[in-house]
Each structure stands twice: as C-alpha cells, then as structure tokens.
Amino acid sequence: MSTEGLSDSRRVVLDVLRQHRATTIDALVEETGLSKTAVRAHLVRLERDGAVERTSLEHEGPGRPPVAFSLTEQGAALFPSSDAAMLSGLLKYLKGQGAGELVEGYFAEVWADRAMDVLEELQASDFRSSPLVERLRALEAVLTRSDFMPRIEREVDGSGTEHVRVCECNCPLPAAAQASRAPCRLEVQFLSEVIGARPSSVNICTRRREPCVFEFRLQRHEN
C-alpha cells in the first residue's frame, strides 16, 4: 500500500489518526468533518489494507470501552520520514571521523545474522550440505522476512550451466548504500556463500524505486 491513489478524505482520516494514539469514530467525524458513514467506509478500507487496526481506549465506569482505531506500523510508514537521510548522514559522519571499521563491522554482523537465519531455515550447519533449490528457498524466505521483496529465478541452459537471478524489488538499504560501499559489498559476499558462487553480474541501485539484481552462473557440479 502507498499513498498514491488515496482520496483526499482518506488522507484526512490518516492525518487525524497520526496525531492520536487511538481515535474513536465519533472523534474522527468531529475532526475531519466527514459523515459517520464516510468515516466507517474509509476505516474498513484502511483496515483491510493493513494501515489501521482496532483497539480500545481506557474506560472508567460501566459498559464496554468504546472501539477505537490506531495506525499500524504499515500505516505509520505512509508518512514522510527523514530516517534514510539521518542514516546516510550518520554513516558519512562515522567514516569522516575515521570510524569506517565500525561501519564495516556493523554491516558484517547484519549479513552474518542473515546467513545464520538461512542455515536455521535449512536446519543445516553449512550451506553446501543442502541442494541449491533448498538454499534458494531458504534465501527467499529470509529476504522476504527482511522486507527485500525478493524474486529468485533459476534455469539451466543447453550446456548444463545453471543460471540464478536474485532480484530485490524493495531493498531497504539505499540510504546506507549511498553513504558506504560496505552494506552492498558484504551482501554480495553473503549471497555468494549461500549460492556457492561469485556473481557474474551485479546491479546495485541506490533508489528505492529500482531493484538490485545479482546474477550467478554455476556448473552442475557446483550445486
């Protein structure tokens, strides 16, 4: 879900929800100037899209507490944030202060943790003990949980060479990649360890609207 295509009135509902921890339908009607029917319709759609969730307000006295709505993490992510710029600035500052090894060490740990996640998914102690198809399945599961929105393709050509293409449609690291080569370089190392070969082609993008693409060629005996 994105803010593209949202009606003005639905944006108004989101704006009010953003300003409060939780809000009732009556309060939304009062603050937005929309009818109760319209507010309910917007909430139903936003709830279905995962942007809002039902909750309860603290309530004193008899009776059930009123039903309220609040933004989910997905809903909050629809609003502008300077997190990416702050991260990029922090990494550049650390490198400028001679702390490049800290940046390197941090991202090395990030990808080492993901390597362990893949091994746990495989229920194995090393990557080579599992066939390539299982490694790719585990890799896709780990990248999906990390919000990379991966698409992994695999085919064998007439000479028996296996081609693997890892496309990350939603890389969450573009700001870091703009400030340092470490996250992408260490990701290539991670993918190489899982797949069992160095990439034949790497296309790193530093804009979120473009995918990162890694291509590998493996001979059959490398599987």
pLDDT number for residue 221: 57
Kindly report the backbone phi and psi dihedral angles of residue 203, in degrees, each rounded to the nearest multiple of 5, phi listed first.
-125, 100
Residue 157 is classified by DSSP as -
Mean pLDDT over each residue of the chain, to the nearest integer: 88
Contact 191, 115 (CB under 8 A): no
For residue 60, give the amino acid letter.
E
The domains located in the chain, with CATH, are: 8-76 (1.10.10.10), 102-222 (no CATH)
pLDDT in tens, 2-22: 555 678 899 899 999 988 889
* Per-residue pLDDT band at 1 (split at 50, 70, 90): low
pLDDT number for residue 219: 80
Q: Which residues neighbour 110 within 8 Å (Cβ) at sequence distance 6 or greater?
A: 183, 186
Contact 94, 103 (CB under 8 A): yes
Residues 102-124 as b or e (16 or more Cβ within 10 Å = b)? ebbebbbebbeebbebbbebbee
Model pTM? 0.67
Q: Which two tokens stand for residue 146?
A: 């990390």
Q: Which two tokens stand for residue 88?
A: 């990029």
Report the alpha-carbon angle 127-133-135, nearest 5: 30
pLDDT in tens, 186-200: 999 999 999 999 999
